[in-house]
Amino acid sequence: MRGYQGWLGDGARGGTDLDAPGLGFKRAGELIAAGTDKVEIHSRGTAFREQGDIMLKARRDAAMKVAESLFAAEEAIDIALARAAEFNGTLATARREANLSAVVGQDAFDTAASVFAALARARCDIVETHKRLHETKIEIGLRAVAIGDQGKPNAIPNTTGDARHLQVVA
């Protein structure tokens, strides 16, 4: 015998048994579980709320998974950027300490500087990704869900006169 849990409809079948053996309902929203005399009352609103809660939890779980990965990527880029900056400084300092001409190793210095610039661009891109994911979070109904434990900077005052960056004052 198959069992069924959930909302069965609005009573349009007139109190007859459903297709599953031993499963039916008496009135709208009353479910008779297969093999039992147990009657559960479910309103259509309750069923939709329960389904919505499940979907919201799935979205929240997915958002948390994405956020953890995003934070790890941001941290990795910041660490790489700091190490590249340290390396570039070491190249310049080592050349000077060794009393070498500025032309010695210039091609290596150019390449190392290019690596630093690429990492700076990657940091800019991951910050833009973070902003777009925040917008996506709002689009999927998670506006009120706080993700992450790092403090966010307060709104930066708008000095460009651009009306898109209005702030609430009170």
Residue carrying structure tokens 């910041």: 78
Q: How many CB atoms lie within 10 A of CB 81?
A: 17
Q: Considering only residues 170 and 9, tell me which one the structure prediction assigns the higher pLDDT.
A: 170
Domain ranges of the chain: 1-42, 57-143
**Looking at the chain, which runs of residues are DSSP E strands?**
30-32, 39-41
Does residue 49 or residue 82 have the better pLDDT? 82
Average pLDDT of span 133-158: 71
Q: Is 34 exposed, middle or buried (0-12, 13-18, 19+ CB in 10 A)?
A: middle
**What pLDDT was estimated at residue 53?**
77
Confidence category of residue 48, pLDDT binned at 50, 70, 90: low
What is the value of pTM for the model shown?
0.58
Alpha-carbon gap, residue 81 to 87, rounded angstroms: 10
Nearest to 146 by CA among 49, 62, 63: 63
Q: What does each C-alpha distance from 5 to 17, 48, 91, 105 come to in angstroms? A: 15, 14, 69, 73
- If pLDDT is split at 50, 70 and 90, which confidence band does 5 have? very low
- Looking at per-residue pLDDT, the higher value among 26 and 4 belongs to 26
Q: For CA atoms 139, 140, 143, 146, give the dihedral sign.
A: negative
